[in-house]
Chains A and B, each alone.
Chain A
Amino acid sequence: MTKIRNLLMALAALTLSAALAQTTVRVQGYGGGDPAIVQRLIDEVIGSDLAKQGITIKYEPIETDYNAVLTNALSAGTAGDVFYIPGETAPGIIATGKVLPLNGLVDTTPFIDSLMSVYTVGGKVYGIPKDFNTLAVFYNKDIFDAAGVAYPTADDDWNSFADKLKKVSQMEPDIHGACLPADFARMGAFAYANGWTPFQADGSANLLDPAFRQAFDFYTGLVRDGVAVQPSDVGAGWPGDCLAHEQAAVAIEGAWILGFLRDNAPNLQYGSTLLPKSPNTGTSGNFIYTVAWGVNADSPVRDAAVKVLQALTSPEAQQFILEQGLAIPSRKSLADNPYFKQDTPEAQGNLTVFDGATHGNVLGFQFGSVGTDYMTPINNALNEVMTGQSDAGAALQQAQQDLESLLQRSQN
C-alpha cells in the first residue's frame, strides 16, 4: 500500500513540476494511419530528449480534409505550432504568410536538394521535408514464374515491359498484367520520361504535345488492349489491392504499398524495380511526393517549435520512419544506410523508391497555384479513354481546353 501511495505521490509531483516547467508544442498532421506512427515516433524516439529541454509535444491529427482545416486554423490563429506542409498544396499554405521562414534557424544542407526546392520560395525556406516517395514497379514473382516470363527490370523500355505484361496476362483470364488507375499521378511519370513537363516556360500547359500523347497512348493502351485493368473494374480500391489479392502481376506505386502488403499479403513473393524507360529518350520519369514540417509564424512558443521541428527531422527520427516502411528519409547521409543492404523485399522496395529520385526525369508532385486541380482534366481524359467512351484525340482536346481555363482562372 505504502509503495503505491509513494508512487502516486511521486507521479503527482512529477506532473506538477512538469506542468510548471514544460512548454507545450502543438503538432498537427494527417489522420488515417499516420497518428499511430507519429505518436510512437514522439514517445519512443524524440520525446525524452525534448522533455529534458522542458518541451512536451501535443500531437493533434486532422482526420478530415487537411488543406481546408489547416487554412481555416491558420486564419483563425488556432493552427498548431508545427504542422505538415504537403508538397502539392505548399504554394497556397506558404502564400498565407503564416509559415515561418527557416533560414538561419535550421541547417538545410543535410537535406536532399530537389526536396528542398519544393519548399523554397524567393530564396526563403518554409519547410523541412520529413520524407519522400517516388513510384516504382512492384511485381508478383510467383505469377511471373508461373507464366515463365522474366521479371521486369530497370533496363526494360515501354515496349519490352508491355510484352512481359502481355505474356503474363495471357496465362489466366482472372490475372491481369498490371493494375493501372486513371490517374495522372501515375501516368504522368511516363510523360516525364518522354521529356514532357507540366508547365512550359511561359507557364502554359500543353497536353497536345506528341511527347505527352505518346505516353498517354501507351498507358491507356495497356488497359484498352486488355493487358492491364483499372482497379475499380476488379472490385479493388487501389492497385495495392490488386497486387495483394493476385488480381494483377504488377502495380506502379510508392513505398506506401510496402506496409500495406506486409499487413494484407504477408506471404506474397514480390520484387521491385525502377519504372521502364521511354523508347524515345532512353530514360525513365518519376514523381517525387513529399511532405514537410513547417513552423507557425504566429506561434507563441516559436523557439520550442523550431526545436521540435529539428527533432522531427533528425537522423534518429528518419531512421525510425524508414524502418517502419512508411516513406524514404529526406537526408542525403541516409543513402548508404545499412537498412538498404538487407535482402528483404521490403528493404529492397524502399531502396528502389529511394533510387527513383535520382533516375531519369524526376519532377516534384507540385503544380503551382492550381495544386492537384491540375490533374482533374487529365484524369477525366484517362477515364474516358480507358473505359472506351472516347478516343485519345478528342479526350485530350477537351482536357487541354479545361486545363487552359483552369490556369487562366488561377492567374486572375
Chain B
Amino acid sequence: MSDQEGKDMKGRPRGLLSSWRFLVALLVAVVVYAYGWRETEINIHTLITGAPDIVHIVTQIVQPDLLARDKEYQAAYAEFQLPCAATPPSQPARSESEPYLVLSHTCGSTGEPLSVEGFNFRPNTRGTLRWTPPVGTQRSLQHIDSDENGHFVLAVSVPAVEESEQVQEIEAELRWNVGIPYPSETLRVVLDKMVETVFLALMATTFAIFIAVPLSFLGARNLMGGHRGTVILYFAVRGFFNIVRSIEPLIWAIIFAVWVSIGPFAGVLALGMHSIAALGKLYSEQVESIDPGPIEAIRATGANALQTVIYAVVPQIVPPYLAFTIYRWDINVRMSTVIGMVGGGGIGFLLIQWVNLLRYKQAGVAVWAITVVVWVMDYVSGVVREKIV
C-alpha cells in the first residue's frame, strides 16, 4: 500500500484496520485457518485429557533397559485340592533351614479365603505367589515381601480355575539381584545396530560423492554453456537432480527394499540415491559461483582444459564440497535412524518393532542411542566444518 492510499481526503493517515484490502485479507485468512483447523481435526481437549495415557510410555522410555544383573531364585511349594475330596493333600514338610509354606487349609472351593504363610525365606526380599492348576495356565496371585525373619503371611482367595481331582500347586518364589550390573541384551543389540546405522550413512554418503562430483560439473551452467549438446546435457542433469531430490529417502527405501530385499543395503541405496541429487545440486551451484578470474589467468598461461580445471576450478571448490559432504553425512546419520522403519536396515527397524510390541523400555534404549549419536555427529561435523571453511 502506498502512502497515497493510506490517507483519506483530508490527508490524515488512515489506520491499517480501516483499509478494505486489509479487512478482505483478514477475512480470507480467518476462513482458511478455520477450515484448516477442522480439516486437520485439531482438538485441544484431547491434548489435555490424553496426556495421562502417555505417562507410562514416557516413564519407560526415560528408564531404558540399559543394564541387567544376574538373579537368584528361592521357591517353596504347597498342594491344594479343588474341590475337597476324601483325602485332602497334606501340608508341606517343615524344615529347619529350607523355606516352606503352610496353608490355612489344603482343600476348598473357588472364592474361599485362603491364608498362605511362608517360613525360612530370604529376609526382606520380593517375590510372587503363583497358582498352577493341573489344567490351564499358571496365574500370579499376589506380590510377596518377606520380613526381616524371612517370614510372610498372605491372605488370598482361591482363584476361579478348573476343578480337578488332581492337586493344584501353589508356588512362592522370591527373586533378588546378585553381582554387578552389566550391559543388557537390549543395549548390546542396539549398539550393534547403531554401528550398522553409522556405517549405512557412511557408505551412502561415499557412494553419493563418487557419482555427484562428476555429475556436478555437468550440472554447472558456467561450464556447460558452450554448445547446444552440452546445454541439453546440463538440463538433463539438473532435471535428474530435481526429480530424484524431490522423492524422500523413505520412499526410495520402500522401492529398494523390494528391489534388493529388506536390509541395510536397501538403506544404503535409498540414502545414496537421495544424496546424489542433493549433493549434486549443491555442488553444481558451487561450481557456478566460482571466481572466473583464476580460470582466465590459467588459460592465459597456455594450460589445457584438464590443467585449467585442476589448477583454477578444483582449489576453489574443494573446501565448500567438503563442507556440504559433512553436512550431508550428518543428515544421512539422522535419516538412517528412521529408514529402518520401512525396511532399510539400521536401528529404525528395531525401534519400530519394539514400539509395535509395546516394549517401551527397549524402545527407550534405541531412542537414547539415536539421540546420543545424532548429537555427537552434529557436534563433530560442526567442528570440522568450522575448521575447513
A binds B: no
Seen from chain B, the residues whose Cβ lies within 8 Å of a Cβ on chain A are: none
Seen from chain A, the residues whose Cβ lies within 8 Å of a Cβ on chain B are: none
